[in-house]
Structure 1
Amino acid sequence: MRSAKVTLIWAALAAVLCVPIVLAAASPLLEWRGPVYILAGFAGIAGLGLILVQPLLIAGYLPGLSTFRGRRVHHWIGATLVAAVVIHVGGLWYTSPPDMIDALSFTSPTPFSPFGVVAMWAIFAVAVLAVLRRKLGPRAWRIVHMTLAAIIVAGVVVHAALVEGAMETVSKLILCALVVAAAMTVMAGVLMRRRRVTPRAR
């Protein structure tokens, strides 16, 4: 019974991550795009999926992974997310430098651009601070990490929701909603645990 539940959870996660990619691959909009642009777009879709996995890993919601292994995978997926962002931004820069300059300078007329740029810098900031984690200390790291994670989730979700591209609308919105739900659930759990262990002020 337990093995069936474990299989079901992993199958559901795989479906949530893979269905948007499969539907996007079938989009007629890709017929007019070059391979670099398509690679950049799918790197963005993959990045959105990785952001869903991250809180599930750190909270231990994915069965079959020990706490230690879950945290190790969390670190590796974080590095993969940074790579996905670099491919996404780099590919878009290659195909249209003026558009990317406008986006990075916050002068783009497209409403989704600033959200993506803010999320990008937040992802890079987490990656840098993760290297300096021991110097920050556990408490400072938790505060900074959670704050930046909230910015990343909000920025990426709004960015993805506003982009009208190859992603199919329903699957995209479902994935975005799950990203928000997972992040909020894990953050709320962390805050509740912190309140329980913090002694009340007299």
Structure 2
Amino acid sequence: MSPARKTLSWAVLAIVITVPIAAAAASPLHAWRDPVYIAAGFAGIIAMIFLLLQPLLIGGYLPGLSGLRGRRVHRIIGGALVMAVTLHVAGLWITSPPDVVDALLFASPTPFSDWGVIAMWAVIATAALAMLRRRLRLRPRTWRLCHTALAAVIVLCSVVHALLIEGTMETMSKVALCTLVVLAAVKLGVDLRVWSLRRP
């Protein structure tokens, strides 16, 4: 890849990352929200951005971050994703514990809560599986299938969760980000043939 294309790739990624954050920061709804609630919302947006970066990293689509380097950053972003989800849920808990309890018990009247909770548990399961991978002595094929299945659940549920929420995220930038997350995940799955019984 030429230097010009590398620069363009990173510039496009920077725009994709900053536009949803900037649009959410300009939302007039912040005037009626507590700072903790606002921080929890931005943690959710950052988590969505991390979901976009993960397949780009593992697929080697980002210039200069392919192969082993990309996998290392993929693991770091995975840890950051867990932290972002934790901050998102913790912030909501601080501002409204009953709502979080209802969501965790799947008793919330808001449909987006159920999708968010499923995505949260899938993120936790993925992190736990990654940490216990060596101890469980998972075969590469088993790890690949489990990780892919959990990642699919995370992407699907997170996207539906975000799209159903009518909050501080600007609609067009939110739809664009969610679409890119899905497309990146699908492209990675196709390129790596993750469901193939044979080694790609």
Same fold (TM over 0.5): yes
Q: Which residue of 1 aligns with 2:180?
A: 178
Tell me, what secondary structure is at the counterpart of 1:185? helix
**Contact 2:144/2:194, CA 8 A, preserved across alignment:** no
Note closer, same or farther for the CA distance 1:136–1:150 as it changes in structure 2 (3 Å cut).
same
> Are 1:20 and 2:20 matched, yes or no?
yes
Q: 2-side partners of 1:46 and 1:34: how far apart? A: 19
Shift in Å at residue 89 of structure 1? 0.1
Written as runs of structure 1 = structure 2, the 5 A alignment for 1:28-67 is 28-67=28-67
- Bigger shift: residues 18-27 or 128-137: 128-137
Letter in 1 for 2:81: L
Q: 1-side partners of 2:45 and 2:186: how far apart? A: 21
> Are 1:128 and 2:94 matched, yes or no?
no
> Are 1:116 and 2:142 matched, yes or no?
no
Following superposition, which runs of at least 4 residues in structure 1 exceed 2 angstroms of deviation? Answer: 192-198
Q: Which residue of 1 aligns with 2:77?
A: 77
Q: 2-side partners of 1:139 and 1:196: how far apart? A: 9
Shift in Å at residue 196 of structure 1? 6.5
Q: Which residue of 2 aligns with 1:157?
A: 159
**Identity, % of aligned positions:** 60
CA RMSD of aligned residues (A): 1.5
- Bigger shift: residues 107-116 or 62-71: 62-71
Tell me, what secondary structure is at the counterpart of 2:182? helix
**Contact 2:59/2:66, CA 8 A, preserved across alignment:** no
Note closer, same or farther for the CA distance 1:27–1:187 as it changes in structure 2 (3 Å cut).
same
Q: 2-side partners of 1:102 and 1:27: how far apart? A: 27
1:140-183 deviation per Cα after TM superposition (whole angstroms, max 9, x unaligned)? 11010000000000000000000000000000000000000000
Tell me, what secondary structure is at the counterpart of 1:112? helix
Letter in 2 for 1:164: E
Note closer, same or farther for the CA distance 1:90–1:4 as it changes in structure 2 (3 Å cut).
same
Normalised to the residue count of structure 2, the TM-score between the two structures is 0.95
Note closer, same or farther for the CA distance 1:6–1:133 as it changes in structure 2 (3 Å cut).
same
Shift in Å at residue 192 of structure 1? 7.0
Q: 1-side partners of 2:65 and 2:96: how far apart? A: 42
**Contact 2:148/2:194, CA 8 A, preserved across alignment:** no
Normalised to the residue count of structure 1, the TM-score between the two structures is 0.94
Q: Which residue of 1 aligns with 2:170?
A: 168
Letter in 2 for 1:119: A
Q: Which residue of 1 aligns with 2:139?
A: 137
Q: 1-side partners of 2:198 and 2:117: how far apart? A: 36
Q: 2-side partners of 1:192 and 1:152: how far apart? A: 16
Note closer, same or farther for the CA distance 1:103–1:67 as it changes in structure 2 (3 Å cut).
same
Q: 2-side partners of 1:155 and 1:47: how far apart? A: 13
